[in-house]
Amino acid sequence: MTMLVDRAAADSPTPWPAAYPEGYAVVDVETTGLARDDRIVSAAVYQLDARGRVEDHWYTLVNPQRDPGPVWIHGLTTEVLADAPLFPEIAGELAKRLDGRVLVAHNAAFDWSMLAREYARARATAPVRQRLCTIALSKELRLPLPNHKLESLAAHYGVVQQRAHHALDDARVLAEAFRPSLQLAAEAGLRLPLLACQPLTEWSDGPTAPRSAAVGYQPSYRSGTWRPSRKRPACPYPNPGRYKSGEQLIQGMRVAFSGDTSVDRELLEDRAVEAGLHIATSVSRLTSLLVTNDPGSPTSKTTKAASFGTPVIDEAAFMQLLSHVVPAPGGAKGTTAGG
């Protein structure tokens, strides 16, 4: 394994916050899709020290034992992956790279959920206790980015991307962009937006759903099942009220979901939490927004939303809004309760 030395990152005179982690594992995975029955086809890890300097890196292909999915994105065909190791065969080596470190990823909820499911299938547990999303960190730093794509973060710091959607290069780019972000956070004494990673306690594979010819198809989130062992912390922002059509979401808004979603439900909820939204388990007069792909279905949530006049949007619109959530007014924080 080639050891990388980051000579540009000399010891900084900045007093380093004692509460900051002692090491990071910058991760990127390429997958067969976004649903809970999808699989990892490649994975890369850059190990960083406490100040974000590169210590080592690692990359592997993974045979997903199924259709590789969007080859036009990740470039990994069935033929390329045929002789690649299965995930259980690389799980131990990957665990060594993650052990004792904070998992860092661009949209960390996704990478963590994919890893957690792969380890659960392998009857193992990923040694990850916390994750840090660089999208959330960029928002905390209020970086002047046009959007929250990795390419925009890279351009902000002058990092050149060579092979987009190649796990190793994406991980390298993120590692190089994460270090200056970490430095800025330390200089500002900012509390890092760390979230707990709870392993899955159960996993059962359902039959693999056939791929549709339609572009963008993803199986229902019901394709596989698991029960996560976790309890979400209370949203730290006060509820600013209902969502208004044509405007942006605001931190603290209470969002409820109803029915099937094409993107993994757990992933949607994690993204919403990382953006500063409150996940409501039911619909009440205080609910800011209901997300459903079938507003005409007679579920309890859609019925209550209609009776309360709660705004309703579909999943695609919600995903668009989620990339530009407005910070809570004045940065005020307070505990929210109820649904």
Mean confidence (pLDDT) of the chain: 84
Q: What is the mean pLDDT of residues 60-81?
A: 94
pLDDT at 210: 44
> 182 with 45, same domain?
yes
Domain boundary among 196, 228, 243: 196
> 131 with 54, same domain?
yes
CATH number of the domain at 274, please.
3.40.50.10190
Domain boundary among 174, 196, 218: 196
> 176 with 313, same domain?
no
Domain containing 279: what range? 254-323
pLDDT at 336: 39
Q: What is the DSSP string of 240-259?
A: -----TTS--BTT-EEEEES
Is there a domain that residue 66 lies in? Answer: yes
Q: What is the mean pLDDT of residues 207-217?
A: 39
In the numeric block, which tokens belong to residue 11? 């010891």
Domain boundary among 154, 175, 196: 196
pLDDT at 207: 47
Q: Give the three-state DSSP class for 68.
A: coil
Confidence bin at 308 (pLDDT 50/70/90): very high
pLDDT at 264: 67
pLDDT at 202: 56
> 263 with 164, same domain?
no
> 191 with 296, same domain?
no
pLDDT at 1: 38
pLDDT at 221: 33
Inform me whether the pLDDT recorded for 14 exceeds 90: no
| pTM of the model as a whole | 0.64
> 269 with 183, same domain?
no
Q: What is the mean pLDDT of residues 261-277?
A: 80
Confidence bin at 77 (pLDDT 50/70/90): very high
Is there a domain that residue 39 lies in? Answer: yes
> 183 with 271, same domain?
no
Inform me whether the pLDDT recorded for 172 exceeds 90: yes
> 98 with 192, same domain?
yes
What is the tens place of the pLDDT at every residue in 34-60? 777 889 999 999 999 999 999 999 999
pLDDT at 214: 32
Counting the structural domains of the chain, the total is: 2
Question: For 326, which DSSP code?
Answer: B
Is there a domain that residue 216 lies in? Answer: no
Confidence bin at 314 (pLDDT 50/70/90): confident
> 190 with 267, same domain?
no
pLDDT at 223: 38
Nearest to 182 by CA among 292, 111, 90, 102: 102
> 189 with 260, same domain?
no
Is there a domain that residue 286 lies in? Answer: yes
Percent of the chain at pLDDT exceeding 70:
82
CATH number of the domain at 57, please.
3.30.420.10
Nearest to 32 by CA among 61, 3, 55: 61
Helix axes 167-188, 150-157, angle to 10 degrees: 60
Higher pLDDT, 254 or 38: 254
Is there a domain that residue 14 lies in? Answer: no
Q: What is the mean pLDDT of residues 68-91?
A: 95
Strand order in the sheet with 289-292: 278-279, 254-258, 289-292, 312-313
For the ranges 33-37, 217-221, 229-233, the maximum mean pLDDT occurs at: 33-37
> 166 with 62, same domain?
yes
> 148 with 37, same domain?
yes
Inform me whether the pLDDT recorded for 230 exceeds 80: no
Inform me whether the pLDDT recorded for 225 exceeds 70: no
CB of 107 closer than 8 Å to CB of 26:
no
Distance of CA 152 to the CA centre of its chain: 17
Residue with tokens 């931190």: 251
pLDDT at 148: 80
